[in-house]
Every structure is written in structure tokens, then in C-alpha cells.
Amino acid sequence: MHYLAASDRYNKMVFRRCGDSGLKLPMISLGLWHNFGDVDSKDTARKILLDAFDAGINHFDLANNYGPPPGSAESTFGKIFKSDLARYRDELIISTKAGYLMWPGPYGEWGSRKYLLSSLDQSLKRMDLDYVDIFYSHRYDPDTPLEETMGALTHAVKSGKALYAGISNYSPEHTLEAVRILKENKTPCIIHQVKFSLVQPEANEGLADILDKEGIGCIAFSPLGQGILTDRYINGIPSDSRAAKSHGFLRKEQLTSTVMNQVNELKHLSNKLGISLAELALNWVKSHNFVTSILLGVSSADQLKQDLGILHQDDFTEDIMNRIKTIMKN
């Protein structure tokens, strides 16, 4: 069936400016870290992507190694883009990254110029694109001069293969240095992608001030702690959950008694507020001023629809934020 996007898609979404740049990102972006690999249903992947765009989500976030196997999420996206979304290319923000292991040998991971630019070329082929909107260094490389890594991002932008440069998983110290080098290269860093959730709140400890001062946007990934901050594990580990999958990133050992006690207290608070546990966790992230967009990964279109409910919620008051803080300190 021929796809036509919903005509009212942008009436449904809230957009935030990405730092000091001219780029605006949807409050919720769609991440393809999970559920778009060769091991996953292509029909489900297509429905998630198209339902997301119909809801005003025009930012799709990938990386070279997403799958499994590595590269397959980009290939899946490329097929759906070609069949359904190509006509909307100028409306879309498509991002990818390079930094983690992608192929054997010394040039198959980390931050060398050879690896980053070779990976970008491969990503463009898999996605059937002429360029990506954002190209990230996926992690800091301690064995490569940062000037080389940032120089590769600069080359990607100046060659037209990417419109913007970003970094991901960089410490506050390395963020400052990367930002300085990119400024000198006349290719500003416009965005930092960081893991940020109630169970991993470290981004609020130093990095947030740097991003605000430097005029850099922030997109938060794993806002639900890989599913910990949902009803999914309240009563144990379901057989079809991330924690039960051998190729998943959430391990059973992470679901400690301390964590689950906190989750149950948060669930109690969310019930009092009349929202779901997932909505509480997502709205907590949204309520931080330094966050430009929340990067969601979903396993179904129904899950996406539920999570979109936070668009209509006011940011939490200081009182509620403090109550949540108390729970997480216990």
C-alpha cells in the first residue's frame, strides 16, 4: 500500500531548538538501537517508523553498529526510506555514528580518520542516502589525537556527507576539548548524545552546565533505563523482554533489589500523579532545561503511541522533582 504521511503531523509535535544552532528537533526522536535488526520483524519496523513520522517525529537516530548484526538497522531503515520516506527527505533529520566495533582490524572501531570516514561512506550506502543530517563520534578514543577525530567530523561536514557534527558518550572534560577544536575548525558541535535517566543521572553532574554555556543541544538516550523504568519488570523478567534476550544490552544482573525497590516507589508516585511509570520517567527527563530531545526506542507502534502522551504533560514542578530525587537517594 502506498504511504502518504498524515497532513497534520506537525500539529502533534513540540519542537525545541538544538542549542544555538538553527536546527530544531522534535521533543521525542526515534532511536533504532533495538528492534530494527535482521533478527526483528520488518513489518513491525516499518509500522513504527511510519507511525512515528505521522506523529510528527521527523528525527531518526542510527549508528553503524546497530542491529544485530551490525549494520542491519541502517539497512532496514534504508529499505523503508526508499519505499516510503524518500519523498520527505528534506523534512527528515537522519543521524548516524561511528566509534564502536564494526569490522575486524585496527581501523574497525574508535576514532581514527580512516575509520570514521570509511564508516560514514558505508552507512550512506546502507541507508541509500547522499548525506546524513548529523554525524557523531560515538565515543572518545584515548589512543587517537582528538584533533584527528574532530578533523574527521569537520571533513564529513565540509564534504557534504553530513550537515552537522555531534559527539556522544564524551566526558565533560573531553566535551570541552572537542568543542574547542570543532570551533577552531569552523564546524561547531551542535549536539551531544548522552545516556540520561533516573537510574543513570550522571549527565546532570557537570555536563549540563557545559552544554548550556557552549550553546550545545542535548539528546538523551536510554531515558527508560533500557526498560527498567517501565512496568515491564515489576513482577519479574518476561521471556520476550530485553533482559531475557541474549543479544540485548540490559542484563538480568542490573535488576538488583535496590533498583527494583526504587522502581516500585516510583510506580507508587506515578499512580498518585495519575500517569504511568514510563511517563513519569520520560517527563523527568523532559523537565530538564538542557535536554533538547528524548531518544526513544520502542518495540511496537502501540508502545510509541503510549510514550507520546508526555507531549501533553507539563514539566514537573520543583516539588515533584524533589520527591523523585528523594526516592532515588534512598
Q: Stretch 45-74: mean pLDDT, rounded?
A: 98
pLDDT tens-digit profile of 105-162? 999 999 999 999 999 999 999 999 999 999 999 999 999 999 999 999 999 999 999 9
User: Could you tell me the fold of the domain covering 9-228+285-315?
Assistant: TIM Barrel (3.20.20)
Cell numbers 566526558: residue: 171
Sign of CA dihedral 244, 240, 39, 44: negative
Q: pLDDT for 291-330, tens place per residue? A: 999 999 999 999 999 999 999 999 999 999 999 999 999 8
All cell numbers assigned to 213 = 554555556
For the chain, what are the domain ranges? 9-228+285-315
Cβ atoms 225, 199 nearer than 8 A: yes
Length of the chain: 330
pLDDT-wise least confident of 199-213, 247-261, 309-323: 247-261
Residue 176: how many CB atoms within 10 A of its CB? 15
| pTM, two decimal places | 0.93
Three cell numbers written together for 122: 558505508
